[in-house]
Structure 1
Amino acid sequence: MQFKIKDVAKLAGVSVTTVSRVLNGEKYVKDDLKAKVNRAIDELGYAPSHIARSLVRNKTNLIGVIVPDLTSSFYATILSSIEEVASANDYNLLVCNISENIDKELKYLNVFQEMRVEGIIIMHEKINEPIRALIHRMPIPVIFSSVKPMDQKFISVIVDDYKAAYDATNYLIELGHDAIGFIGGDMRDITSGQNRYIGYRNAMSASGKKLVEAHIRFGDYKVKSGYEQMKLMLGSNNPPTAVFAVSDDMAVGAMNCIRDHHLRVPEDISIMGFDGSQLTELARPTLTSMEQPIHEMGKVTMDVLLKQITGETIPSEDIILEHRVAARESCMNRMKAT
């Protein structure tokens, strides 16, 4: 049997208002009445309805989060940081994994409205017109994290992906590599697809390095595609001496492929990833990566969204965080080796 608040009040011998005040943690309730209410709650096993309380207070303390791929080490890490800040501020997350399916996103955004979420975090940028129209109509704060959509209305918390990819490629060049391969992402993505690819190409061009089309491949940011694209690269004449992959997951896949082909990382081929996820320390050899401040990105995203919810002043432009090269074992300095 599911008991209601009036059942608690009857058993405790108090008014429904007094029970409500105890449940809401209000101070002005006598200790003896509070004790009676708590005993009745324990005896009945009463659990207050979150939905009912939300309707009364017109506040749900829910944050909706759209994640493109929860199997990604990057998204798992940033989500944990977002949850930590949300929990510290008495908010709960309603996380929806769309698996890169934007039709799912439209459905989940409508669910968010029905659940009366107080804010929305979106972690991918492939937004069609129905989705764009919907989030523009919503009277709910929306923020993008780790990506920048073409729509300039919304704030994003990002790194400079072009500059980060340029710097990653340049790092390999400074280690003495001339033939540098590239495993890119989805070119429909401006942030992690186009910007990182252009950064790679421009760094190669600025240093006078030759671009070899057989050394340029595109995957889907996952380990398996990194493996597959590296296999194709190894099948070409004169494979590169270094490869820059635009996700740590694809970089780990590339390393696995190299080992399966009886080659060594980094002695035969150096590998560099992008993100700075937990995979970098778990991989063997440990993975050099262009590191995004993932935990800070999640924290800043949630902090700014909370300010939007409470009507505080927020930045008028995107928040761009610093990237850095996290050097580990997977890249070899060919200058020292010669």
Structure 2
Amino acid sequence: MVGMRDVAKKAGVSLSTVSLVVNGNGYVSNDMRDRVRKAMQALNYVPNELARNLYHDRTNLVGVIVPTIRHPFFATFTAHLQHALAAQGLRTMLCSTTDETDGEIQYVDMLRRHMMDGIVMCAHTSHPGDYWTSIHRPIVAFDRVLGNGISSIGSDHEQGGRLIAQMLIRNGARHVVMIGGPRDQFFDLAVRGEVEEGSFDLGKTTFPTVRYYLTLEQELTSAGVKYEYIEAGEVMDFAGYHRAVSRALDGVATDGVDAVVSSDIGAAFCVREALSRGISIPDELQVVAYDGTYLTDLAGMKLTAVAQDFSAIAQSAADHMVQAIANEEAAAANASRKNIPKPFEPNVLIPMTLVPGDTTR
């Protein structure tokens, strides 16, 4: 195997000169640089990327932790995030906490040992906030609140809930069923005893998405529209969505249910099941999807959806990760006062869009 010593011998320069050229660090004259590059080309020398990264204390590798890659939402988001990170010269290492035992812990350990440059955390965690802040490495949260000093990127879920409520009220809905995950997971701090049950503070939840559910519920209740919530299980429990949809549709004839709101996968299940039961959409039942992934076109009817801007969310997460890495490098280099690291935007909310379909009036 050809090494730097071989290149140095071929070019007639010192080993340190070859190292400076390969690592792009330090001054080397143009003549010396050309001799080294010609020798590398003649010998078909390929620099050791791992060694070069260790030299710069960088891996250009970012871990992305999601609950599962089987869910269309996380598949869509990670595809956009991988593209956004690649444009910044960063590669993606994907971890599904459902499909990999202790994946979250392993990734944090890799981050602590500088085997990756940062983590984008998109999965539920039972660790308290001081666990994440004590890592002192670049971390960006997506739809999570992990602790002070860790940026949280996500959609404006209050706006999303309001868009759905205003449309259903305008369309004359009388009994709306929301299908989603376990409600106690959204109120995790109260369940864990970190806040009082009776005085839940939205600012303390680790799930910003709870604002979508609560805003929708409050808006409908204020308008006198009946509202109920049916739990579908964890995000990866597709069978749970089937059961929840079946229960909701049982209420069309008995309880006057005339609208269902769920994630894209729940809404898609709902349309297919309703059509199989002979329930007319949207005349008897309106269906609204929340997310706006590719499933909105694959349900048998074009789903009306409140769509998240995956491209903008991913770009914001990537930008924050790049800034976090740069801040860490600046701090390590004892940056002068005129090169103070750029401060973070602690919470970034990306606007959502109502996309009309065939499943609402």
Deviation at residue 205 of structure 1 after TM alignment = 0.7
Aligned residue among 308, 317, 322 for 1:306: 322
- Aligned-residue sequence identity (percent) comes to 22
Counterpart residue type for residue 216 of structure 1: I
Could you tell me which of 15, 20, 36 is aligned with 2:39?
A: 36
Q: Displacement of 1:37 after TM fit? A: 1.0
Aligned to 1:149: 145
Give the whole-Å Cα distance in 2 for the aligned partners of 1:17 and 1:118. 27
> What 5-or-longer segments of structure 2 have no aligned partner?
187-204, 328-340
Where does 1:6-25 land on structure 2 (aligned, <5 Å)? 6-10=5-9, 15-24=14-23
1:135 matches 2:132: yes
Matched residue count: 321
Equivalent positions of 1:1-338 (< 5 A) are 3-10=2-9, 15-24=14-23, 28=30, 29-41=32-44, 47-99=46-98, 103-129=102-128, 132-145=129-142, 147-149=143-145, 151-187=147-183, 188-189=185-186, 190=205, 191=207, 194-211=210-227, 213=228, 216-221=230-235, 223-236=238-251, 237-238=254-255, 240-245=257-262, 247-311=263-327, 312-331=341-360, 333=361
Residue identity opposite 1:328 in structure 2: G
RMSD after superposition: 2.8
Letter in 1 for 2:147: D
Query: What is the CA distance between 1:113 and its match in structure 2?
Result: 2.4
Q: Distance in 2 between matches of 1:107 and 1:31?
A: 43
Q: Which runs of 4+ in 1 moved over 6 A?
A: none
**Is the 1:221–1:250 contact (alpha carbons within 8 Å) kept by the matching residues of 2?**
no
Return the offset for 1:8.
4.7
* Structure 1, gaps ≥5 residues long: 334-338
Provide the secondary structure at the position in 2 that maps to 1:140.
Answer: coil
SS in 2 for 1:235: helix
How much has 1:231 moved relative to structure 2? 0.8
Q: What is the distance in 2 between the residues matched to 1:239 and 1:107?
A: 49
> How far apart, in 1, do the equivalents of 2:218 and 2:315 lie?
32
Q: TM-score, normalised by structure 1?
A: 0.83
Matched residue SS, 2:160: helix
Query: Contact between 1:61 and 1:91, CA under 8 Å: does it hold in 2?
Result: yes
Aligned-pair CA distance for 1:112: 2.6
Change in CA separation of 1:152 and 1:113 when aligned onto 2, cut-off 3 Å: closer
Deviation digits for residues 63-105 of structure 1, max 9, x if unmatched? 2221122122222222222222222221112221112889431
Alignment-mate amino acid for residue 359 of structure 2: S
Distance 1:22 1:167, change over 3 A: same
Mapped to 2, the partners of 1:117 and 1:22 lie a distance apart of 24
Seen in structure 2, the aligned counterparts of structure 1 residues 115 and 315 have a Cα distance that, compared at 3 Å, is: closer
**Are residues 241 and 88 of structure 1, via their aligned partners in 2, closer, same or farther at CA, if it must alter by over 3 Å?**
same
Q: Which amino acid aligns with 2:139?
A: V
Cα contact 1:227–1:255 (8 A) shared by 2: no
Structure 1: distance between partners of 2:264 and 2:158:
17
